[in-house]
Amino acid sequence: MPNILVVGSMNMDIVTRVNRHPLPGETIHGLSTSFFSGGKGANQAVAAVRSGARVTMAGALGGDFFGNEISRLLLEDHINVNHVRKKNTMTGTAIITIDDSGENNIVLNKGANGIFMPEDLLDIDLSQYDAILMQNEIPWETNAFILEKAGALNTKTVFNPAPALTIKDKYFSMIDLLILNEIEASEMTNIPVKDPESASKSALRLIEKGVSEVIVTLGKQGAIYMNRKGSILKSSAYVVPTVDTTAAGDTFIGTFVSAYFNHDVASSLKYAAAAAAIAVTIEGSQNSIPYIKQVDAFIKETQDFMIDV
């Protein structure tokens, strides 16, 4: 059972369903509004723990109702919250609209996530973890602090640069596994990523910058894996009816990292794709993330998947 530290964001997602997304300046009627615990950090933590990992969450919440509710839900999933800091501000929120096709638009309010700083991590022994998983919904200096400290401890660093930002070249060599989607890959490499071929070119550029392993996810077109040793894998995606894509990427990442320590890369890609496929069939963030038994059953029942070497 891998021991994973997730350093990242926690939000309350306020989700409104619409027939279509509004045009600039346009007012439309929503169909329904729901509240879900979310945030990329918390979502990936839940995905990892439900896939069999032991998970500790490090991040910041406000001292409000949303913060208390998120903390309660993480504890229900048996996630260690001893390193979740309470800040004198509001909890982060995400305003999400989802249209009839299941595609979403998201507006983030960082709240407490925006003031989770390196000093909030000083009492954490990073050496006790097999992997540290980070995203870009907290200040970059906090992620940079983790990358610099973990490099000297032989602790695997996994980075999901969402939302994408420009980072100094020296940090690429501190990233063991970089998992990003086609939009983030395009922004980080200046290579337009639209298909597996362009994703491979983008992944190679990131490997040349110093990253040890790269996964570029392509939604319905699957994913590309590449490592510094020259291995390349192309995986497909499962075809399922889409209800809500909100936590699909986080589900893929959290489940892949959990599986990675017990299985080969090809099997881990297949497992993560299956988990993400289940997630898009259910509305919401963490409530849509499946448990390991559900994923195993889905894989047994579904045959349309392929890994190309």
Q: What is the mean pLDDT of residues 226-249?
A: 90
- The catalytic residue among 77, 125, 250, 304 is 250
| pTM as predicted | 0.92
State the amino acid at position 179 in one-letter form. Answer: I
CA 57-90-11 angle, to 5 degrees, is 45
pLDDT tens per residue across span 175-196: 999 999 999 999 999 999 999 9
Please tell me the predicted confidence (pLDDT) of residue 86. Answer: 96
Catalytic residue check, 64? no
Please tell me the predicted confidence (pLDDT) of residue 152. Answer: 82
Q: What is the mean pLDDT of residues 56-60?
A: 98
Q: 182 or 96: whose pLDDT is higher?
A: 182
Instruction: Yes or no: say if 236 and 223 are a contact pair by the CB < 8 Å rule.
Output: no
The CATH architecture of the domain made up of 3-308 is 3-Layer(aba) Sandwich (3.40)
Burial of 127 (0-12, 13-18, 19+ CB in 10 A): exposed
Residue with the two structure tokens 């032989």: 154
Domain ranges of the chain: 3-308
